[in-house]
Structure 1
Amino acid sequence: MASVDRQNLSEEYDRHHGEEIYLENAPLLEKLKDLSYVTFMLIGVALLWPWNSFLSASLYFQHDVFHDDTIYARTYISTMMTISTTSSVMFNLWLSKRQHSYAERVVRGLIWEVVVFGLLAVFVLVRKVFPDWLNFLFLMTMVLISSCGTAMTQNGAMALANVFGPQFSQSVMMGQAVAGVLPSLVLFGVSFIGDPRNQSVGGIFAYFCTTIAVSASCIVLYRISGIGSADKRELLLNEQTDDIEDNTVSFAVLFQKLKYLVLSIFTTFIVTLLFPVFAANTFVMGLPMHNAQYIPFIFTVWNLGDLYGRAISDYPVFQSANFTPFKTFLYSIARAGLVPLFFCFNLNDSRKPSGSVLSDFGYILLQFLFGVTNGNVLSISFMKVSPQLSSDKERKAAGGFTNIFLSSGLACGSLVSYVFVYIVSTIEMGRP
């Protein structure tokens, strides 16, 4: 029986390895015909969609649920950010020390999202029955569970993607970028037909139901594709080993092999989280647009750049042996050089009297480049993880290890962004 299992697993390994080699040279449209590639991409969409749902509903919660001037309305976003980033770091640390059951984690995390947004959909309909403090406590609990669910799915998905190969790691990154582009496009479109701050109960309810549908569809496709079987191969081939703890890979080993890649991920997120500060406070100068249209447009431009950066990350110039992890780390640091350029544009209308269309185009180009470099560095970093490791055991463990640096980068980046919020506000106070 064991020999049959080994034969089947060997055939499965050959199939996945052949898939990876084929996809390396295939155009994107050809990749989208591969079921495993599409499944990993949809998982990527599902990883970011819940967070986008919370962000998109922020104004609804602040205005309709907590009535703008209450303490709950004023602290909603900061509390949500703190709970989300802190819980993500802590839960990723916990998961990364338990190096088993990766396939189950993918589905389990998605089920948590279905439950969370099912409860939120009901909450939208019955929220007036409960006092504000209870509503606030409920929403923060949902943020906590959703954040842990996302961490669980991402931990399992990146472990499996590392086993499958770099092309599948890129697929997850692409899915996350798609999940970033779609909401920003919707928000930009809404800015032309109405005030995006006016969000109906029906619209929020439908958005939450869409999140449920995305997570549920992901579970179905994941089951059909059978990519979870990649988690069984090493366990079966090492069936003499009963103690899971003896099979764990230490953080020291992983850091030794991946230090420049995980530091690239960490650095990229710290720099990238400055983007919303500038995007929300840099206003139009010469283009025939209102700020209520211009700002969503900038978010869309950045997200499109992010998507493009991830799409080109499999180009030979980035995946060649000459583009080492150390060079990737230098690339991530070099992105910080773009930040001072944002102060050259119309922060808080400080340059409005001398406005010009050329200045707007320069700012749009800068935001696009900032998005491209974000998506590019992140995808390159995740795609290079698998080739640096020598066994599937290490590749699976690396899924959780890289997520620690991802969530830590987000947490540190959110703290650094407060400094830039203060700096930008002083520009507003000091203008003539």
Structure 2
Amino acid sequence: MFFILGLGTLLPWNFFMTASLYFQRRLNTTEWSNGTKVVRKEYYFNNWMTLLSQLPLLLFTLLNSFLYPRISEAIRIAGSLVFILLLFILTAVLVKVPMEEDRFFSVTMATIWFINSFGAVLQGSLFGLVGMLPQKYSSIFMSGQGLAGTFAAIAMLIAIGSKMDPETAALGYFVTPCMGTLLTLFSYLVLPRLVSQLSSQHNCITHNPSDLTYTNSPIWVMAFCVMFVFTVTLSVFPAITVDVKTTSEGKNWELYFISVCCFLIFNINDWLGRTITTKIRWPSKESRLFPVLVISRVVFIPLLMFCNVQSRNYLPVLFEHDVAFSIIMVLFSLSSGYFVCLSMSYAPQLVEPKDAETAGALMTFFLALGLSIGAALSFPLRKLI
């Protein structure tokens, strides 16, 4: 059940991200002029999608202390799932509705903002819920989150491989998260006793005021690390990586290239990186090497920018072959999942037990901040290419 709940929290972000090829087709603004293909208008869809997906997480993380005590847990979780379901249904319906590009872009961006706003409330509420359970339930929940992207990537591969017309394939693709959201809602509703028991336990617990403001606390190192990992990751994925083109001449492979080499490779290895931390925890939480390795991930930004990203105006292509791009993506995603999971698991161990809840809230804020900074950086980085 908790695996399904974890899966459901990241369905909105992953299904919109993985469907970037569908949205690019709907926003196709190229035209032929004197025998040359010219871009009439550039929407920068992937950049805006990334930014408007992550800003709600940062906003609602800041609003947690105000929002959560005033709205019951059941309304927050069930209500968010219902609204996410309705917005997915709207997106599926729009597949069959002809619409002028500017209007379609505006409607899609509004949908992305609201669906990720409800997703942020859902994620924060469920993190609070599983936080009252033994550690193994948190691991199961995080594992479900890690596989949400793989689920979306496989759904896209099935849609492409179905050989149906693009509209029908896209409709089937967006119906899939509707079913996933329904399953998530059902999973939550069949746990009323557990939810009630956990809520009662939570209300009975009293916490002493926490003070994590002293700058020498090692938790600030972990907060910086989780922020920096996501800043690097979101600055190039998916806004830049989704524009990498295959050098293969096979038309069938061209259809599958981004779904496999960008989304599937990233999500599988990100999940694998998280899973590895259950067996290997290196460097240690006290090691100075840990933040050094996290900062060294910045090398992936130029490496991916020098891949065969099209179109480009300034930088040369240094890694043209598909294999080179795939190897870089494996290392990029594996290190992302590994260092994020280590940072999040080390943080509570660096404070007194009474401060663990405050430490978790602090880490969640810096995680959201890193996602938002990375999404914002994707705009100038894409321009530089």
CA contact (8 A) 2:130 2:138 kept: yes
Conservation of the 8 A alpha-carbon contact between 1:261 and 1:385 = yes
Q: How far off its partner does 1:255 sit? A: 10
Counterparts of 1:150 and 1:334, CA distance in 2 = 31
User: Is the aligned partner of 1:280 residue 2:243?
Assistant: yes
Aligned counterpart, 2:259: 296
- Contact 1:41-1:175 at 8 Å conserved across structures: yes
1:222 is matched with which residue? 188
Deviation at 1:141, TM superposition (A): 3.1
Q: Is the 8 A contact 1:313 1:380 kept in 2?
A: yes
Instruction: Identify which of 314, 325, 332 aligns with 2:294.
Output: 332
* Count of residues in Structure 1 that have an aligned counterpart in Structure 2: 366
Q: CA deviation at 1:328?
A: 4.3
Alpha carbons of 1:345 and 1:253: their partners in 2 closer, same or farther (altered >3 Å)? same
Taking a change above 3 Å as real, the CA distance of residues 260 and 166 of structure 1, as seen in their structure-2 partners, is farther
1:107 paired residue among 55, 78, 84: 78
1:99 Cα offset (Å): 5.6
Q: Deviations over 1:295-329 (max 9, x none)?
A: 332122222211211111211535x9x43486543
Using the TM superposition, give the Cα deviation of residue 151 of structure 1 relative to its aligned residue in structure 2, in angstroms.
0.7
Residues 47, 379 of structure 2: 8 Å contact kept: no
> Aligned AA for 1:108?
G
Q: Does structure 1 residue 164 correspond to structure 2 residue 133?
A: yes
Alignment counterpart, residue 414 of structure 1, candidates 375, 378, 383: 375
1:220 counterpart letter in structure 2: F
Measure the CA separation in 1 of the matches of 2:242 and 2:25.
22
Aligned residue number for residue 310 of structure 1: 274
Q: Distance in 2 between matches of 1:41 and 1:253?
A: 36
- Aligned to 1:370, what secondary structure does the other structure show? helix
The equivalent position to 1:145 in structure 2, one of 111, 114, 123, is: 114
* Change in 2 beyond 3 A, CA 1:56/1:165: same
Native 8 Å contact 1:301 1:364 kept in 2: yes
1:203 has 2:169 as partner: yes
Task: From the superposition, tell whether residues 403 and 278 of structure 1 become closer, same or farther in structure 2 (CA, over 3 Å).
Answer: same
Counterpart residue identity of residue 303, structure 1: N
* Kept after mapping to 2: 8 A contact 1:40/1:171: yes
* The structure with more radius of gyration: 1
Picking from 360, 363, 376, the partner of 1:402 is: 363
Stretches of structure 1 that go unaligned for 5 or more consecutive residues are 1-38, 239-245, 425-432
Alpha carbons of structure 1 residues 405 and 309: separation in structure 2 relative to 1, 3 Å: same
Q: Distance in 1 between matches of 2:40 and 2:178?
A: 30
| Deviation digits for residues 253-294 of structure 1 (CA, Å, limit 9, x no counterpart) | 899573222222211111112243245326447999844443
Q: Which residue of 2 aligns with 1:181?
A: 150
Structure 2: tracts of 5 or more residues without a match = 31-38
SS in 1 for 2:131: helix
The range that moved more, 335-344 or 247-256, is: 247-256
Which of the residues 10, 25, 30 maps onto 1:48?
Answer: 10
How far is 1:400 from its partner? 4.4
> Which deviates more from structure 2 when the two are superposed, residues 215-224 or residues 343-352?
343-352
1:92-127 CA distance string (max 9 Å, x none): 2112455646743333322221232233344445x4
- Which letter does structure 1 place at the counterpart of 2:146? A
Instruction: Please tell me the residue identity of whatever aligns with 1:306.
Output: D
Alpha-carbon RMSD across the aligned residues, in angstroms, is 4.0
The SS at the match of 1:184 is helix
> Conserved in 2, the CA contact under 8 Å of 1:338 and 1:370?
yes
The equivalent residue for 1:268 is: 229
Q: Taking structure 1 as the reference length, what is the TM-score of the superposition?
A: 0.69
**Aligned amino acid, residue 185 of structure 1:** I
Indicate conservation of the 8 Å contact 1:314/1:380, yes or no: no
Aligned residue type for 1:206: G
Distance across 1 between alignment mates of 2:80 and 2:361: 14
Q: Name whichever of 404-413 and 263-272 sits farther off.
A: 404-413
- Kindly state the Cα deviation for residue 159 of structure 1 after the two structures are TM-superposed: 2.2
Amino acid at match of 1:281: V
User: What percentage of aligned pairs have identical amino acids?
Assistant: 19
Give the 3 Å change call, closer, same or farther, for CA 161–249 of structure 1 in structure 2. Answer: farther
Question: Relative to 1, partners in 2 of residues 1:252 and 1:132: Cα closer, same or farther, differing over 3 Å?
Answer: same
How far is 1:136 from its partner? Answer: 5.0
CA distance in 2, matches of 1:391, 1:231: 20
Aligned residues of 2:52 and 2:112 also touching (Cα < 8 A)? yes
Q: CA deviation at 1:85?
A: 2.8
- Provide Cα deviations, 1:120-157, integer angstroms capped at 9, x if missing partner: 344445x45x8776655543332222111111111112
Letter in 1 for 2:261: I
**Equivalent in 87, 108, 122 of residue 116 of structure 1:** 87
CA contact (8 A) 2:230 2:367 kept: yes
* Structure ranking higher in helix proportion: 1
Q: TM-score, normalised by structure 2?
A: 0.77
Change (3 A) 1:364 1:336: same
How far apart are residue 211 of structure 1 and its match? 1.8
Deviations 1:370-396 (A, max 9, x none): 11111111222223344345457x555
